[in-house]
Structure 1
Amino acid sequence: MSTPWTGAAGLALVVDPASDDAARELDRSIGLLREVAAGTRPPTLRLYRPSPTVAFGQRDARLPGFPAASRSAAARGFAPLVRRAGGRAAAYHRGCLVVDHIEPAEDAVAGTRARFAAFGNFFAHVLTGLGLDAHVGEVPGEYCPGEFSVHGRRDGVPAVKLVGTAQRVVAGAWLFSSVVVVEDSEPLREVLTDVYAALGLAWRPATAGAARDLEPGVTVDDVEAALLAAYAAVVRLDERGATRPA
């Protein structure tokens, strides 16, 4: 298995406790990225279980239906936010695991596509180890479509988007953020159905699912443990500064 990073011999592990402040959760990612770029923080792996959020892309925010889409998200109990990375609207909640991998780089733009491919394969490998038929590639009609989405197959056919990925680069560092959808997919389908209707964007609601829909019994704890084991097999994880959920 190829690793989705090139330079880090070790990663500082941060496992953030649950929060009810979706905006602060997103801002913390950018704060860590800037610290790594400035050299005041080592390469970092951050994991957290997000509060209910609909993260809109920059293009979404320019659509006439954006105000109505934001109201629809809030009515479902999801905080409507506009993220700084690209893509279309994506929804997540505490049944998901967000993974932020941050590394310094002299030319952070170089290798952008290669990182998408490598991280996609890495997450597919982790989910396959938990019993899912996971592969890299867009599911036809998926929300927030991406060439390097990780999907789960049903009867050999791409069925459900399981991992969405995005990147942000600044001078001196890159951030690769991934959302693994593990449990409780119904609220995600509901809010995305409302949001995409308001935005006027076509999609197939059946593509919004979770790992548990395909492999009953899998939990966020299982995915976190498998992911950390996969990282620890190839890179040193420094947990001295880690905080963990109660």
Structure 2
Amino acid sequence: VAFGQRDTRLPGFEAAAQACREHGFEPLVRKAGGRAAAYHEGTLVVDHVMPHADAIAGSKDRFSFFGELLAQALRTVGVQAAVGEIPGEYCPGEFSVYGTDPADAARRIKLIGTAQRVVSGGWLFSSVIVVENSAPIRSVLTDSYAALGLDWDPATAGAANDLVPGLTVQDVQDAVIAAYAGHASLRHADFGSYAGVDTREP
């Protein structure tokens, strides 16, 4: 579970961190983003890092662009996805991506949280897509938010395959890569080759 900087200043933070451990999640504090959000093997994290001389410029436009890009990716795999905050969502944000239940238009669940960190000379845009196995995420957020004293509606937490049964992380990964390919030339490589890390066996 990745907590926001503001969460650490609440009196219930240590209890919230312990609640995460009891659910089998490791509590961490992230630099970017707002309130607590949960990750596990059924989520897909997309980090986009770019050098930029004036990284603060266009920060809101990036939220809008990437939110719509990821919503588009989900739509290609059958999710009725759109950008916007839904009432009572965890880690609320104007540019969250939610999905609508095809059997109940009144039921909307948050599927993607986005965050941005700007530093001198560049920016990071990070997105977490919840694809599979929403129950543990809902449970750990329920207890950690209660410890923090934050109100939210657990019904807003879900996964893409709650709306499109059978959808997998690989399906969504392929859809995200295809969506990116519509805007940029892509080259595949392992992380170490880009990070300057020698990944060869000794």
1:155-178 deviation digits (Å, cap 9, x = unpaired): 333510000000001110000000
Which residue does the alignment assign to 1:72?
19
Is contact 1:56-1:89 (8 Å) kept? yes
Which residue does the alignment assign to 2:93?
146
TM-score (norm 2): 0.91
Distance across 2 between alignment mates of 1:91 and 1:197: 15
Which residue does the alignment assign to 1:61?
8
Structure 1 position 122 matched with structure 2 position 69: yes
Q: SS of the counterpart of 1:92?
A: coil
Residue 122 to residue 71, structure 1, CA distance change in 2 (3 Å): same
**1:133 pairs with 58, 62, 80, which one?**
80
Is contact 2:43-2:130 (8 Å) kept? yes
Which residue does the alignment assign to 2:197?
none
Q: Aligned AA for 2:113?
A: G
Sequence identity percentage? 62
**1:88 pairs with 23, 35, 39, which one?**
35
**1:193 pairs with 142, 148, 153, which one?**
142
Q: How does 1:18-37 map to 2 (within 5 A)?
A: none
Q: SS of the counterpart of 2:38?
A: strand
> Gapped runs of 5+ residues in structure 1?
1-53
Structure 1 position 232 matched with structure 2 position 181: yes
Distance across 2 between alignment mates of 1:159 and 1:188: 16
Is contact 1:151-1:158 (8 Å) kept? no
TM-score (norm 1): 0.75
Distance across 2 between alignment mates of 1:194 and 1:179: 20
Is contact 2:115-2:125 (8 Å) kept? yes
Distance across 1 between alignment mates of 2:181 and 2:69: 13
Shift in Å at residue 86 of structure 1? 3.0
Distance across 2 between alignment mates of 1:153 and 1:140: 13
Distance across 2 between alignment mates of 1:56 and 1:159: 23
Shift in Å at residue 85 of structure 1? 1.2
Residue 65 to residue 240, structure 1, CA distance change in 2 (3 Å): closer
Q: Aligned AA for 1:76?
A: H
Count of aligned pairs: 190
Shift in Å at residue 242 of structure 1? 5.0
Q: SS of the counterpart of 2:123?
A: strand
Structure 1's consecutive aligned runs of 4 or more residues displaced over 4 angstroms after TM superposition are none
